[in-house]
Amino acid sequence: MTTRARTRRGQRRRSTRPASRAAAFTPDALSVGARHLEVGNEWVSSFAVTGFPREVHPGWLAPLLTYPGRLDVALHVGPIDPATAAARLKKQLAKLESGRRHTAEHGRLYDPQVEAATEDAYDLSSRVARGEGKLFRVGLYLTIHAPTERALHDEVGALRSLSASLLLDAKHTTYRSLQGWVSCLPMGLDLIGMRRTFDTSALSAAFPFTSPDLPAADPTSVAAPSGVLYGYNVGSQGLVHWDRFGEGMHNHNSVILGRSGAGKSYLVKLELLRSLYRGIEIAVVDPEDEYARLAAAVGGTYVHLGAAGVRLNPFDLPIHRTDDGRRTAPKDALVRRSLFLHTVVAVLVGGELDSAERAALDRAIAATYQAVGITADARTWTRPSPTLRTLRDQLATAGHAGDRAATELAAKLHPYVEGAFKQLFDGQTTTNPDGHLIVFSLRDLPDELKPIGTLLTLDAVWRRVSNPAIRRPRLVVVDEAWLLMKQPSGAEFLFRMAKASRKHWAGLTVATQDTADVLGSDLGKAVVANAATQILLRQASQAIDEITQTFDLSAGERQFLLSADQGQGLLSAGTQHVAFQSIASPTEHLLVTSSPAELAEYAETADTSDAEHEQSYVDLGFADDTPQASDGDEFGSSDPDDHIELDAA
């Protein structure tokens, strides 16, 4: 039988002001059933715990708080005065002893449960008599929420299974569902009154009444947790989800620190792959060429700098392409690109330019763009860009006219145009850095081209990040960041990204094994300080003291990082710390592992089963028609209102 509670019209007219305030927290309608309630648009069911385990450990109620659905847990505690406690214990001991003697007189076997209860009662009685503990009346009630009746039935089954695993006997508050729901509200009302007697030690084991898991973004929501699955909680076996782009985050940056072999790259690639499922665009700076297989599997763009025929033209203007196919550019795109070319030439010649060289270079850059028909008129910006060879020729021409600074610059640029290093500049850009995943591999760049290759890569990444035509979250992943920080341009990029990425709806992921160098420099400390998400994997004993001080770790967390297994780490998000173990499916593991033995076995298998490899690509759910956009602005701010549309000229 179901009754529906509604407010009468007369009562509504006679309501006082405090009652009207309380009405703001009451549901529009309340339907009361035998074992459930309909509270507004939700279905709820309440339970009273009547049976408890004989022995408990500290925090034994915490698994109830890690339940993946919405579960309200209410614990009502009331003290029992010593005189009443002593009388009840004496009466209980008399009953137990009488039963034992009756069993012994009739020659029956002893009941193990009665024997255990008698021993516990004697022990409790002696501790209460000595003042070592007190007795309390405790009521434990649970209320589960669900959006539909069918979902409520499934949630009830799951909750009862969880309670049984904790040796808790949870009973429905049959025909008292309304009282059970009210007893779980934060009003301190116990309308069920089904309580058990606890002593001080048993009650204190339930506190601190906290959970080792990260708090849900919205505790009132019954939806599945959002974000990326990092693994399972080492303490509670619950799943660890974290959304770097969630509401309330100060920034979207992340730093991952760990010793060699702790699983940094594995975790970074796993997060990258699962972020792609959510529609997040990702750019990777890969100094060790570890992301090629992953990029191929998900249909990403792989820019292999240092390989034959792969070039990035520093003269390309930042032309954006919107979703409707229109092309736009900043109003000062030509000026910004000219200033960037000053930095490019300074890196190529290996030092700062003097005033005469800067003046000669500035004139040559303007003449270089004019030579291919690109002027201050925005309609000319869609024409093919010049190359470094064109700039060298303009400097040589100025040198023939008597400009000594131009002659010296032309000579210094000769190796990069016609010499041994021309493969990176001799022509137009071969691979447009575009798509949902862009990987820049720097491993095969010669040491002499590492600085300029790094600069061009970071320029392309920043153009993409600052592109206002892309309206979705983006991540920039820098693996083995200690290699990038050796270059001045790389260090400047990390600092700029850590500070300004949030304004462009982007996040920076920095992973490095050189923890001491990162924390020992002002730049490294700035990157760590501007990372709202911090992940620590296994640490070396030589660096653990500085790690402990920097991240304010407890003694237990310190010991965990010293003894953590591969893939285990500590995720720190503000005041929340959670220890987790990363997990991956077999398909994900195949794409993210960097184990030489597994890669060798994979290479042998791939040669004989290309069809299976193709099927693994289809299973990931990526298609070739993923929406893409062209590259954006270079180093500097990007204001959506500071752009102009381009017409083909």
- 303 vs 282: CA distance, rounded Å: 14
Tell me if residue 1 falls in helix, strand or coil. coil
Q: What is the pLDDT of residues 42-65, one digit of tens each?
A: 999 999 999 888 777 777 887 887
Q: What percent of the chain has pLDDT over 90?
A: 19
Tell the residue number behind the tokens 């209980």, with chain if given. 92
Amino acid at 394: Q
Mean pLDDT on 295-323: 84
Burial class, 624, CB count within 10 angstroms (exposed 0-12 / middle 13-18 / buried 19+): exposed
The order of strands in the sheet holding 327-330 is 320-321, 327-330, 643-645
Instruction: Give the pairing of strands 576-582 and 568-573.
Output: antiparallel
Q: What is the pLDDT of residues 505-535, one digit of tens each?
A: 889 998 888 777 677 777 777 888 888 888 9
pLDDT band at residue 154 under the 50/70/90 scheme: very high
In the chain, what are the helix, strand and coil shares in percent, each to the nearest 5? 45, 20, 40
What interhelical angle do 404-413 and 388-400 show, nearest 10? 150
The token pair at 128 is: 């209460």
Which of 462, 329, 463 has the alpha carbon at shortest distance from 383? 329
- 243 vs 252: CA distance, rounded Å: 9
The token pair at 24 is: 């703001």
Mean pLDDT on 543-549: 86
The CA-atom distances, in angstroms, between 189 and each of 30, 120, 497 are: 19, 31, 52
pLDDT at 439: 93
Burial class, 108, CB count within 10 angstroms (exposed 0-12 / middle 13-18 / buried 19+): exposed
Given a cut of 70, is residue 213 above it in pLDDT? no
Highest mean pLDDT among 116-125, 520-529, 550-559: 550-559
The end-to-end CA distance of the chain, in Å, is 78
Tell the residue number behind the tokens 């007795």, with chain if given. 135
> Which is higher by pLDDT, 161 or 106?
161
pLDDT at 191: 93
> Which is higher by pLDDT, 554 or 24?
554
- Could you say which architecture CATH assigns to the domain 313-428? Orthogonal Bundle (1.10)
Tell me if residue 367 falls in helix, strand or coil. helix
Amino acid at 398: A
Residue range 226-300+435-628 forms a domain whose CATH class is: alpha beta
The token pair at 448 is: 């002499």
The overall average pLDDT reported for the chain is 80
Q: How far is CA 269 from the centre of its chain?
A: 12
The DSSP output letter for 224 is P
Where along the chain do the CATH 1.10.8.730 domains lie?
Answer: 313-428
The token pair at 27 is: 């549901």
DSSP-derived secondary structure for 252-313:
--EEEE--TTSSHHHHHHHHHHHHHHTT-EEEEEETT---HHHHHHTT-EEEETTSTT----
Amino acid at 621: G
- 446 vs 485: CA distance, rounded Å: 17
Given a cut of 60, is residue 539 above it in pLDDT? yes
Given a cut of 60, is residue 616 above it in pLDDT? no
Segments of 385-463 assigned E as strands:
437-441
Q: With contact defined as beta carbons under 8 Å apart, do 213 and 66 qualify?
A: yes
Given a cut of 50, is residue 381 above it in pLDDT? yes
- The count of other CB atoms within 10 Å of the CB of residue 362 is 15
pLDDT at 497: 83
Tell me if residue 167 falls in helix, strand or coil. coil
